[in-house]
Structure 1
Amino acid sequence: MLIIGGGVTGSAGALAAARLGLRVALVHDRPVLGGNASVEIGITPRGETGPLVDELSARHPDGDLRARDVLEAETTATVFTEHSVFHAVTDQRRVTAVDARDERTGREVRLRAPVVIDCSGKAIVGLLAGARTLFGNESANEYNEPSAPAERLEQHHGHTLFFRTRETDTPVSFPDVPWAVDVAKDYANLGGQLVEPGVDNGPGPVAGKFRHPDPATRRRMLLPATHFWEYGQWLDPYTQGEEIRDHLLCAIYGTFANVKTLEPDTYANLDLDWVAYVPGQGEFRRYLGDYVMTETDIREHRHFIDAVATNSGAFCLHYPIDDTYDFRLKDWKWDTRDGLPFDVPFRCLYSVDLDNVMMAGKHISVTHVAGSVTKFMGNGAQHAIATAAAAALCLRYDVTPRQIGEHHLDELHTIIAKMSQPEQASFGATHISD
């Protein structure tokens, strides 16, 4: 089987598949695994985690995840890093293979498998195969969601760029960056830093008027939240990713220059310790499945007979853009609901249009509001474990994911439950050769 995307979600799916005895190829477009949790970005997995996620997301001293080591210890798992999927080979309603390109050499490889799980976060397999997707913020009346906007918005959660400053023992100069200050304007608050890989939302140096913010500012906006550095909500996340990243680089460099310039004596020794080159990616397109999960489903803890994953966390809704600084959020809503976990139905984890493609992570079949909580990396890993278990049954019985939901739910539930046990190293290793 194939898993596309080596973030926490895809890594968890690959590990679950390998421990179910399946031959699995994990294809990832970066040199390191972990996605938004990787050493390149550094967020910690939130939502439901569990033993597999904890094993994968433990960190080396340099901050890199142990995911690669864990997967390479599995004899039936093969990891292709720095490979970008650019084409899907289809036969009617099935994806029979994907073509991926080595980003260093340009060499292309065709990978065939009877089952594909898309964990890219971008619905890349579905888009290449022509599957229907969802995008943007649905209006309140589309799915009867109280937190949705009155009118549909063709926007998305933007990207965030992570950085860290430090105080050195000697003065540190910084060049004039008028091209960056044009973006940052007079902004001079470096709060919202990555303290270290896995620890975000750190404080930072503040200068000028930002030392004494307007008391009328809502308290939530005074937090040093990393995701307040966000941009690109109305740009195409697929084709304008570099533009979004470069704008955020200007915001960070310009803000750093402002802090140094406004209070040169205070911050003479201030240095930029690290600035990410890869942004923390926000929202892309979402697959259309047999069911679209909504905010109301989550709030009311709707019972699903085909529930296969437990998710947790708050609705995390971002409202762009600050009236003055376009790289800052205007507002943010962290709605913890009742604080209780909720169930995700299997019908949200396979494409309505493709008979052998399942999905896990931020692009499952949910609305924008529901996706603001199901998107957490720990939650996505639970989707991936469920789809890996379903893949084993698809191969065993030569059926589609939809048919698993119709005829093999009890067996699916049993496999998922056993994969969630802390002591579970391997289950039912039938070593199916796909």
Structure 2
Amino acid sequence: MTATGTVTVPYPASGILVEAEAFTHYGGWVLDSQYELEMGSPYLLAHGNGKPVADAKTAMTVPKGEEGEYNVWVRAKDWVPGHHPGRFNLVINGATLPIEFGANDKDWTWEFGGKVQLRAGKTTLTLHDLTGFCGRCDAIFFTKEDKLPPPNGVDEQARAWRRKLRGLPDQPVDGGTFDVVVVGGGVVGAAAALTAARLGERVALVHNRPFLGGNASVEVGLRPRGVTGPLVDELSARHPNGDIKAKTLLDAEAKATLFMEYTVYNAATTTTTTTTSAPTVTITSIDARHARTGREIRLRAPIFIDCSGRAILGLYAHAETLFGQESRAEYNESLAPPARDTTHHGNTVFFRTRMNSSPAPFPPVPWATAVAKDFSDLRGQLTRPGLENGDGPQVVLPPTTPVSVPRRMKGPLTHFWEYGNYLDPYTSGERIRDHLLRAIYGTFSNVKTLEPDTYANLALEWVAFVPATGEFRRYKGAYVLSEGDIRSHRPFHDGVVFNDGAFCLHYPNANASATPTNNDSGHAHARHHDYDFRLHYWEWDERDRHPYAVPLRCLYSANVANLLMAGKHVSATHIAISNMKFMGNGAQHALATAAAAHLCHKYATTPAGIYEQRGGQWLGELKELCARITGTGTHHAEDSKDRGERVKSRL
């Protein structure tokens, strides 16, 4: 939990580092490890929705002979500069330091807490929340050195400083060698790992959260859509507490090993160059770090499946990727914009309100209403895990939708709460989440303020701190699926699974100058011009409602030989991925990639090797295996247009 040590760096090199995530008792604080790759470390979050949370507590040991006067540094963040909504105190041996942390108008930084006298032996530390509005503490550092603050970056120098002071090895320890490693434990990754294990492969599943499911997890709560099938239904069924059953199923598989709360931060590769072909990159291992202990491990496998939804292995292995919206001309897509841009689907934070039997006070939140403005519509709630689009209080009617919009699109849609479409999803995730929290708190305050008698008892029952994430980079595979492929049900001789559903395109408010209109194909648009956290309009094109084929070539990297992918980052255009992104659809990719990994192991080949094998026996075997796993019988994916209805009924 605590460690002492000395390192050779230009900032304090000796002292006692206490990581907040290593506290013995979190109290009402929660561990937030989502943004470690952005800001450097997991941290504790005081997420009380306006009510200060219970204290987090721990103890550290001052070695004998090291007693004396120490400088105190606390790494914290003022997440709304000028307003300081996330303030907290540090209490040492019962004495509160005379500074409120999280109130310095700065992003993540080390704040000086003054000097304290410490005796040898046990010292107690307490984080005391003052607001209930997302105060956050990364670490506490005690040093006798009067130097510059500790390193504040996310680079290797900062990581080495932390490792040394925590007594951790300089290099990752061996975490094992497997037949296949799956990264990302959403519905897609869980499906890939479970399928691989049931096919007899020794599989490791690496996931950065304490719950499996991703956007369907109990931390978020979406219901898987698209094609599901027996296995997906099995693993996404929910326990009474809302958690999906994926972990229970995987824990029962002898061939499966779960690495929960591990963030992948590196991939080692080798490159083979020949005179007749382009260089071939192969991933040999990946490194992952545990959120609570900082333990770093190295996992090896001949095949890797990226189910992270953010092409994370591709970034580390320098795989070819796609990002944003392709232009209309690039793939001849009717729904694409005239010019290429970097707009992508944003994130959503779910919430739920309730009416108490007595008044539920809520403090003034000018820092939140600055985002919400006059918005006062709390519809679009998560009623319970797996049931979104719930109703809610509404004081002022939002901008209306056209009369011709289909009735079901006029409802209280959860996904109209969205932000981040223009920001870098890899470096701005925390900022996006925080903006949505401000929007929710501000809207809630507006409702209670505008009709104080009606909503005096209205309370926030639950607000997620883990957002439903949208679009990141997509891989470029041996083939890029496009809108035309889906609409025409293009036959693929390497079609391995089916996907289904509508083109689901989210457009933020910068498009307000080009207000669309409905047309006969069922496109639906909802207008929320004045609020940057509300979608401007939403394209929902159900096409012909028949399933379509997904070729194997969309499920492996174009330039990383042993990298398969499944989910919303497969090889497809922005328009095509708006249909393929549904969790049920991604799980179908997962089943196919697990089957492909199984055959790669069986025949000592690569995914491209399966596709390119002369005679096609391996590809034929893969298609038969996928048909058996998905329950589609002998209806191969190249038959999607002619046999769509029969296949759909089986899926």
Q: What is the alpha-carbon distance in structure 2 between the residues aligned to residue 143 and residue 95 of structure 1?
A: 30
Q: Are 1:139 and 2:327 counterparts?
A: yes
What SS does structure 2 have at the residue aligned with 1:14? Answer: helix
The amino acid across from 2:542 in the alignment is T
Q: Of Structure 1 and Structure 2, which has the larger fraction of its residues in helix? A: 1
Q: Is the 8 A contact 1:208 1:262 kept in 2?
A: no
The amino acid across from 1:271 in the alignment is A
1:90 to 241, 264, 269: 269
1:66 to 235, 242, 245: 245
Q: What pairs with 1:3-402 in structure 2 (closer than 5 Å)?
A: 3-92=182-271, 93-210=281-398, 214=400, 219=405, 222-321=410-509, 322-402=528-608
Q: Of Structure 1 and Structure 2, which has the larger fraction of its residues in strand? A: 2
The amino acid across from 1:20 in the alignment is L
Q: What is the alpha-carbon distance in structure 2 between the residues aligned to residue 337 and residue 417 of structure 1?
A: 25
Q: Give the paired residue count.
A: 421
Q: Are 1:415 and 2:625 counterparts?
A: yes
- Per the alignment, residue 428 of structure 1 pairs with none
Q: Is the 8 A contact 1:51 1:422 kept in 2?
A: no
Q: Is the 8 A contact 2:328 2:334 kept in 1?
A: yes
- Per the alignment, residue 429 of structure 1 pairs with none
Q: Gapped runs of 5+ residues in structure 1?
A: 424-434
Following TM superposition, by how much is the alpha carbon of 1:252 offset from its aligned partner in structure 2, in angstroms?
Answer: 0.2
Residues 65 and 421 of structure 1: is their aligned pair in 2 closer, same or farther, counting only changes over 3 Å?
A: same
Following TM superposition, by how much is the alpha carbon of 1:231 offset from its aligned partner in structure 2, in angstroms?
Answer: 0.2
The amino acid across from 2:601 in the alignment is L
Following TM superposition, by how much is the alpha carbon of 1:406 offset from its aligned partner in structure 2, in angstroms?
Answer: 2.1
Q: What is the alpha-carbon distance in structure 2 between the residues aligned to residue 301 and residue 13 of structure 1?
A: 25
Q: Is the 8 A contact 1:184 1:251 kept in 2?
A: yes
What SS does structure 1 have at the residue aligned with 2:263? Answer: strand
What SS does structure 1 have at the residue aligned with 2:265? Answer: strand
Residues 138 and 107 of structure 1: is their aligned pair in 2 closer, same or farther, counting only changes over 3 Å?
A: same
Higher relative contact order (CA 8 A, sep 6+): 1
The amino acid across from 2:604 in the alignment is D
The amino acid across from 2:193 in the alignment is A
What SS does structure 2 have at the residue aligned with 1:344? Answer: strand
The amino acid across from 1:90 in the alignment is T
Q: Gapped runs of 5+ residues in structure 2?
A: 1-179, 272-280, 510-527, 634-651
Q: Is the 8 A contact 1:5 1:27 kept in 2?
A: yes
The amino acid across from 1:115 in the alignment is I
Residues 209 and 356 of structure 1: is their aligned pair in 2 closer, same or farther, counting only changes over 3 Å?
A: closer
The amino acid across from 1:409 in the alignment is L
Q: Is the 8 A contact 2:323 2:342 kept in 1?
A: yes
Q: What is the alpha-carbon distance in structure 1 between the residues aligned to residue 400 and residue 384 of structure 2?
A: 30
Residues 214 and 335 of structure 1: is their aligned pair in 2 closer, same or farther, counting only changes over 3 Å?
A: closer
The amino acid across from 1:411 in the alignment is E
Q: Is the 8 A contact 2:375 2:396 kept in 1?
A: no
Moved more, 153-162 or 316-325: 316-325
Normalising by structure 1, report the TM-score. Answer: 0.95
Following TM superposition, by how much is the alpha carbon of 1:142 offset from its aligned partner in structure 2, in angstroms?
Answer: 0.6
Q: What is the alpha-carbon distance in structure 1 between the residues aligned to residue 305 and residue 261 of structure 2?
A: 18
Q: Is the 8 A contact 2:401 2:410 kept in 1?
A: no
What SS does structure 2 have at the residue aligned with 1:70? Answer: helix
Following TM superposition, by how much is the alpha carbon of 1:323 offset from its aligned partner in structure 2, in angstroms?
Answer: 2.6
The amino acid across from 1:154 in the alignment is T
Q: Which runs of 4+ in 1 moved over 2 A?
A: 213-223, 420-423
Q: Is the 8 A contact 1:137 1:368 kept in 2?
A: yes
Following TM superposition, by how much is the alpha carbon of 1:416 offset from its aligned partner in structure 2, in angstroms?
Answer: 1.2
Moved more, 316-325 or 326-335: 316-325
The amino acid across from 1:58 in the alignment is A
Following TM superposition, by how much is the alpha carbon of 1:216 offset from its aligned partner in structure 2, in angstroms?
Answer: 5.7
Computed over aligned residues only, the root mean square deviation of the Cα atoms, in angstroms, reads 1.4
Q: What is the alpha-carbon distance in structure 1 between the residues aligned to residue 253 and residue 485 of structure 2?
A: 37
Write out per-residue CA displacement over residues 113-172 of structure 1, whole angstroms, 9 at most, x where no aligned residue.
000000000000011001110000111001000000111121100000000001111111
Q: What is the alpha-carbon distance in structure 1 between the residues aligned to residue 438 and residue 420 of structure 2?
A: 13
Q: Is the 8 A contact 1:208 1:263 kept in 2?
A: no
Write out per-residue CA displacement over residues 360-401 of structure 1, whole angstroms, 9 at most, x where no aligned residue.
000000000000010100000100100111111111111110
Higher Cα Rg, which structure: 2
Following TM superposition, by how much is the alpha carbon of 1:217 offset from its aligned partner in structure 2, in angstroms?
Answer: 7.7
Residues 332 and 422 of structure 1: is their aligned pair in 2 closer, same or farther, counting only changes over 3 Å?
A: closer
Following TM superposition, by how much is the alpha carbon of 1:223 offset from its aligned partner in structure 2, in angstroms?
Answer: 2.3
Q: What is the alpha-carbon distance in structure 2 between the residues aligned to residue 184 and residue 303 of structure 1?
A: 48
